[in-house]
Amino acid sequence: MSTGISFQFIRSVCRLTSLLAVLPTLALGAMTISKKPTKNVTCTATVCSATSKKAVLNAKQLMQLLKKNDVAIVPGSVAESIVVDRALHWTSAHRLTLDAFSLIAINQPIVIEGTGALTLTTNDGGSGGDYSFGANGNVQFLDTASGLTINGTTFTLVADLPTLIADITSAHGSGAYALARSYDASADGTYSHAAILTSFAGIFEGLGNAVENLDINDPATSSNAALFSVTTASGVLRDVSLANISVAGAANTMAALVGVSNGAIKNIAVSGQVQSAAVSGDIGGIAAVLEGTMASSSSTASVQGGVGMGNLFVGGLVGEMFGGHAMLSRSFAAGTVLIDMGGYAGGLVGGSEDSGDSIQQCYATAQVTAGGTAELGGLVGLNHGPITETFAIGAVTAGNGSDVGGLIGENHSTINQSYSIGSVSAGLHSFVGGLIGTDNTTLGSLSDTYWDTDTSGIGDLTKGAGNRKDDQGITGLTTAQLQSGLPAGFDPLVWNEAANINGGLPYLLALPGP
């Protein structure tokens, strides 16, 4: 497919964020499956265990064992974690078990070519671990009759969307499902509504695979247009790439992955376009409405809303955060965001509506544009929840009577350890600030926040916020000053600077880009 190479890069970045989140644990010790000779590992016919903090199991040796028996990799508390750095494949009916004290990092393909099976177990004695898929990592099953168990849950393997839809519908939205291998949805034609209409309360595990070329065009206004319409608080969507997606129509809740998410979203990457003609509602690159959690996810999609009537939220990643407990972390948006007029738009999130909704360790490079009056921010259009450790670098432009800021359009909550560098501009009778368009917070709500006085077009050091002169907690710095070391108050355990990353400006250690 024509977008394959560029999207692979973005998918790699997104997956790297998931792996970086667990690097401190990996540093404590790991059994690595690689092409190197076996070292510090003891194997019987069925079990391989670590004898040292740093252990290596030769991939060919492991595949030879799988020809004859089920094999369990159990490093225990000695090595704590399992890292797959060499591709594995086998045709026998045997099961490979990866049983980690802490976490599992799959950085190369695991291909079950026959009727074999795979078991992944994390936190077997430890805590805080998870499994993740690196730049080239995924799990593929050539036979959907094979077995997959993750942390005690048995998954149904599906190879295409029609099967996934049928299975979820027949199970009334419950169950655990895994994408057996990447799927090209162009064979499905165009969906006229959300692909999965049933409210989903189960687990969808992408296994590091991709759904490509999904096409949805929903003419109805009061509907959710996305791969999943709604997930409940127990619903989990994770570890899948949605490549070259097209979602369009008049639906007032529209996104690539899910319309309304009350559950958990993790390690999702999206490319393509989401374009709604609705005059109100929520439009997002990954989720239209987020009431649960999203982590380690990214979108390069172009996201566009229509002519809003004051209640239209458009965001590069999320349209609207809502409910008082929505959490967005370690994620980024790098597409474009466009709203015709009359709403709220942000490079990352259109609007955060409740004081309990939070954003941490995220960034946006998206250019945000409104053809007329709007509330626009490089990161968030309208903000009511705490924001910490974020930055935005995209240009923000709106028409007359707008609130425009490099980071936030209209702010009602605390912000700290954040900065913006994008150019900001608007028409007549607008509030335009280097960091915030309109700040409605009380004194002390802002701390350690900055904007670039060179690149923003706002050189007046009193104009950190458009509606307040000398808004306390906001500081204007030149590009050279921002590049000369971490700004005051920035935690060096969270931030760093390097000449070859983000133009020498501060970047997040958990998201080493752009």
pLDDT on residue 25? 41
pLDDT digits (tens, 9 = 90+) for 227-239: 999 999 999 999 9
- Which of 3-12, 61-70, 321-330, 420-429 has the least mean pLDDT? 3-12
Beta bridge partners of 121: 99
Pair type for strands 147-150 and 153-154: antiparallel
Amino acid at 337: V
**205 — phi, psi (to 5°)?**
-115, 115
pLDDT on residue 322? 94
pLDDT on residue 28? 65
pLDDT on residue 308? 63
Separation between Cα atoms, residue 227 and residue 244, nearest integer Å: 13
pLDDT on residue 223? 86
H or E segment at 276?
strand 264-276
pLDDT on residue 309? 60
Local structure of residue 188 (DSSP, 8 states):
G
Separation between Cα atoms, residue 432 and residue 448, nearest integer Å: 20
Beta bridge partners of 507: 496
User: What average pLDDT does range 486-492 have in this prediction?
Assistant: 98
> Under a CB-based contact definition with an 8 Å cutoff, are residues 322 and 357 in contact?
yes
pLDDT on residue 351? 97
Vertex 505 angle, CA 501 and 510, to 5°:
60
- Which of 165-174, 198-207, 300-309, 431-440 has the least mean pLDDT? 300-309
403, with CB counted inside 10 A (0-12, 13-18, 19+), is buried
Separation between Cα atoms, residue 498 and residue 261, nearest integer Å: 36
pLDDT digits (tens, 9 = 90+) for 17-36: 443 334 434 456 999 999 99
- Which of 16-30, 387-401, 482-496 has the least mean pLDDT? 16-30
Separation between Cα atoms, residue 319 and residue 224, nearest integer Å: 12
pLDDT digits (tens, 9 = 90+) for 339-374: 987 899 999 999 999 999 999 999 999 999 998 899
Residue 337 has pLDDT above 80, yes or no: yes
Q: How far is Cα of residue 271 from the mean position of the Cα atoms in its chain?
A: 12
Higher pLDDT, 220 or 91: 91
Average pLDDT value over all residues in the chain? 93
Confidence of residue 14 (pLDDT cuts 50, 70, 90): very low
Q: What is the CA radius of gyration of the chain?
A: 23
pLDDT on residue 279? 81
| Cis bond before residue 386 (omega within 30° of 0) | no
> Closest Cα to residue 295, out of 208, 359, 247, 222?
359
pTM: 0.94
Percent of the chain with pLDDT over 90: 90
Percent of the chain with pLDDT over 70: 94
Higher pLDDT, 311 or 228: 228
pLDDT on residue 1? 33
Confidence of residue 397 (pLDDT cuts 50, 70, 90): very high
> Under a CB-based contact definition with an 8 Å cutoff, are residues 228 and 237 in contact?
yes
Confidence of residue 135 (pLDDT cuts 50, 70, 90): confident
Residue 324 token pair: 């008082």
Pair type for strands 203-212 and 236-249: parallel
Q: Which domains does the chain have, with CATH numbers?
A: 4-137 (no CATH), 252-508 (2.160.20)
pLDDT on residue 8? 41
User: What average pLDDT does range 43-47 have in this prediction?
Assistant: 95
pLDDT digits (tens, 9 = 90+) for 161-186: 999 999 999 999 999 999 999 999 99
> Under a CB-based contact definition with an 8 Å cutoff, are residues 140 and 110 in contact?
yes
Exposure string (b/e) for 298-326, b if CB count within 10 Å is 16 or more?
bbbbbbbbbbbeeebbbbbbbbbbbeebb
Separation between Cα atoms, residue 145 and residue 126, nearest integer Å: 32
User: What average pLDDT does range 143-170 have in this prediction?
Assistant: 98
> Closest Cα to residue 346, out of 307, 380, 396?
380
> Under a CB-based contact definition with an 8 Å cutoff, are residues 380 and 346 in contact?
yes
Local structure of residue 455 (DSSP, 8 states):
T
Other CB atoms within 10 A of residue 350 CB:
38
End-to-end CA distance of the chain: 24
SS3 of 170, please? helix
Residue 148 has pLDDT above 50, yes or no: yes
